[in-house]
Structures are given as C-alpha cells and as structure tokens.
Amino acid sequence: MKSLIDTYTLNNGIKIPIVGFGTWQTPDGAIAKVAVKSALSSGYRHIDTAEMYGNEKSIGAAIKESGVSRNSLFITSKLSNSAHSYEKATAAIEKSLKDLQVSSLDLFLIHWPNPKMFRDTDWEKHLQDTWRALEDSYKAGKLKAIGVSNFKKHHFDILKETQTVKPMVNQIRICPGDYNAQLIEYCKSEDILLEAYSPLGTGKIFTDETIKELAEKNNRTVAQICLRWSLQHGFLPLPKSIHEDRIEENSHLFDFDLSASDISTIDSLKGIVGYVSDPDTAEF
Ligand SMILES: NC(=O)c1ccc[n+]([C@@H]2O[C@H](COP(=O)([O-])OP(=O)(O)OC[C@H]3O[C@@H](n4cnc5c(N)ncnc54)[C@H](OP(=O)(O)O)[C@@H]3O)[C@@H](O)[C@H]2O)c1
C-alpha cells in the first residue's frame, strides 16, 4: 500500500483503486464539479456516486473537463431504490451511463436490498430480477464489475438461489464504532470485497476523544487515522468532502502505520457514531 492508485483485485480479476472519493450529499452543480476536480488533482482515481445522490451529471461533466483519461479512472454508481425490477434496473443502468457520459461503468451496485417501496411478499423475487439485470449488463460489457450495498448474509442467500454471476463487492458502513465483524467475516470468506462507506461516520467521528488522542500520538489528523485503520483492515474506504484542503488531507495515508495496539484500541470502540440503518426496516 503506497498510494491512492494501488489496487485490490475483485473476484472477477478487475483491479480497483484502494480509496474511493465519496459524493453522497455533495450538491449537484458547481460544488460537485469542484469537489470531483479537486479529488482528481489530489490523485484520487476512484469516484463513488449513485443515482440517488442526484449528482451524476455534474460528476460526468467534471470528469470530462478534468482531462483525466477515462481508462485511468474507476467509476462506481448504484441503482435507485425505486428501480427494483428487471426492466427498471436495465433502464436505470442506461441512465447512469448517459448521465456520467461513459460507455461503461467500472462498478455498479444494488444500493439497498429491500427498499420500502418494494417491501411486499415478492421482494425476494424483485431482488433476484434486479440482480439479473445487472448480470446481463455485465455480460454485455456495460458494467465491468457488479456488486451490492447494505447487504446482510440473508440477502446474499436470496441472490444465490438464481445468480449466474457472484457479487464482487459489498459496500457497507464500516467506521470506528460501527464494525459488523460477523458480516465482514462472511464477505471475506466469499471473496467479496468490502467497501467502507461513511469511514468518518458522516462527520460524527471528529469529536471522539480516543481517536483524537491517537491522532495526536501519531502526529496525524483524525480523518487520516480513521482511513488508515480502514486500509490496514483491508477495506476500501470512501471518504467524502467538498473542501479542497480536506480532500487533499484525506489522500495522505501512506507515510505512516498504525500499530497493532492502536488498531485494537479503535476496534474496541462501540457505537461512537451510532449504527447503520437496518436495510430490512429502514424508512426508505
Ligand atoms: N452505499 C450506501 O448506502 C452509502 C451510504 C453512505 C455513504 N456512502 C458512500 O460513502 C461516502 C462517504 O460517506 P459519508 O458521505 O457518509 O461521510 P464520511 O466520508 O464518513 O464523512 C464525510 C463528512 O466528514 C467531513 N469531512 C471529510 N473529511 C474531513 C476532514 N479531513 N476533516 C474534517 N471533516 C471532514 C465532511 O465535510 P465536508 O464535505 O463539508 O468537508 C462530511 O461532513 C459517501 O459520500 C458515499 O459515496 C454510501
């Protein structure tokens, strides 16, 4: 692990840069464009967006304007919760490709396994049909890798009944204080890469005294400690910021190591940033 463009290898052989730039709650328009261009200038080559973030068009425009070549970039998007059927998912993939101005995406994820509007007696079938749409776009070469987000083991079991392609990624909330060891072990045993969303607890981590002490001791910032902890666990963190200085700060992760004792101190923190919504009961 030496830089932002080091890669993990997914279970289909595709290489993915080990840090992604998060864009949830990044307002569409000028702010998203400036943030993405700043990230590209700081050396990020992996951008994480979603149809539901409402900023794909600005991100696509920023990438084009940046002049960074498409084949040096890794772009992820995710399916809207309103598109859990074969037809809707197929159309949503086409829309993401168009809005991002690309002919293929490096990774496309089912954002949530069981959205409220499909939470009926057929939700498992909706999920399987949706996955089949991702598989078909993958087989057609429009998606270089496919995966899921917010999946628990029982959601993978539902896919397994009909899947012809195994998910390559599970993007879940992993940050100090919210670490689902059982699910993480399950994904590792299945060779499914763990992307760590909200690696800074959506900004709630910055007041935690333990992390602040570790930051001082290591002569690094709170954000750098959290992101390094994620990387040393083998996760792929997705830090988000709209501020150039923070975007740059969050990229400096490769000139220090956390000791085993610092890692276990962070591992032992519980609930300091609250816990992720249960995908089967979340109000969306
Ligand atoms: N799959 C899913 O369901 C899902 C869910 C949540 C998130 N995600 C992905 O994961 C990404 C990251 O998660 P997140 O957006 O929840 O938040 P996060 O990265 O955990 O934290 C972002 C927050 O921390 C602030 N921040 C960032 N760097 C900082 C620094 N160095 N110093 C001080 N403050 C800093 C940001 O403020 P400013 O922006 O104002 O600088 C923002 O308020 C998302 O953007 C998205 O791509 C996916």
pLDDT in tens, 149-163: 999 999 999 999 999
**pLDDT at site 225:** 98
What is d(CA 134, CA 93) in angstroms, rounded to the nearest whole number?
A: 8
Residue 151 lies in a domain: yes
Place of tokens 């000139």: 255
Task: Indicate the helix (H) or strand (E) that contains 109.
Answer: strand 107-110
Mean pLDDT of 224-240: 98
What is d(CA 207, CA 113) in angstroms, rounded to the nearest whole number?
A: 32
Give the CA distances from residue 246 to residues 38, 70, 249, in Å, rounded to whole numbers and listed in that order.
Answer: 10, 25, 5
Residue 87 lies in a domain: yes
Sign of CA dihedral 186, 190, 192, 193: positive
Residue 214 lies in a domain: no
How remote is the CA of residue 92 from the centroid of ligand 1, in Å?
25
Mean pLDDT of 246-274: 97
Cβ–ligand 1 distance for 282 under 6 Å, the answer: no
Q: How many CB atoms lie within 10 A of CB 21?
A: 27
Mean pLDDT of 127-136: 98
Nearest protein Cα to ligand 1, atom 27: 241
Confidence of residue 260 (pLDDT cuts 50, 70, 90): very high
Q: How many CB atoms lie within 10 A of CB 215?
A: 18
pLDDT at residue 254 is higher than 90: yes
What is the CATH classification number for the domain harbouring 23?
Answer: 3.20.20.100
Residue 145 lies in a domain: yes
Mean pLDDT of 241-261: 98
Cβ–ligand 1 distance for 192 under 6 Å, the answer: no
Place of tokens 């992996």: 46
3-class secondary structure, 206: helix
Provide the residue range defining the domain that includes 146. 7-204+235-256
Mean pLDDT of 96-116: 98
**pLDDT at site 238:** 98
**pLDDT at site 1:** 86
What is d(CA 113, CA 252) in angstroms, rounded to the nearest whole number?
A: 34
Q: How many CB atoms lie within 10 A of CB 278?
A: 10
Mean pLDDT of the chain: 97
pLDDT at residue 121 is higher than 90: no
What is d(CA 275, CA 284) in angstroms, rounded to the nearest whole number?
A: 16
Mean pLDDT of 73-96: 98
Mean pLDDT of 48-71: 98
pLDDT at residue 120 is higher than 90: no
Most distant CA pair in the chain, distance: 53
Residue 265 lies in a domain: no
Sign of CA dihedral 157, 163, 165, 167: negative
Residue 276 lies in a domain: no
The letter for the amino acid at 135 is E
- From the number of C-beta atoms within 10 Å of its C-beta (0-12, 13-18, 19+), residue 204 rates as middle
Give the CA distances from residue 218 to residues 33, 63, 244, 249, in Å, rounded to whole numbers and listed in that order.
Answer: 33, 35, 23, 15
Residue 67 lies in a domain: yes
Structural domain tally of the chain? 1
**pLDDT at site 179:** 92
Residue 198 lies in a domain: yes
pLDDT at residue 119 is higher than 90: yes
∠ CA(2), CA(25), CA(179), 5° rounding? Answer: 55
53 is catalytic: yes
Cβ–ligand 1 distance for 198 under 6 Å, the answer: yes
Q: Which residues contribute to the annotated binding site for substrate? A: 111
What is d(CA 262, CA 115) in angstroms, rounded to the nearest whole number?
A: 37
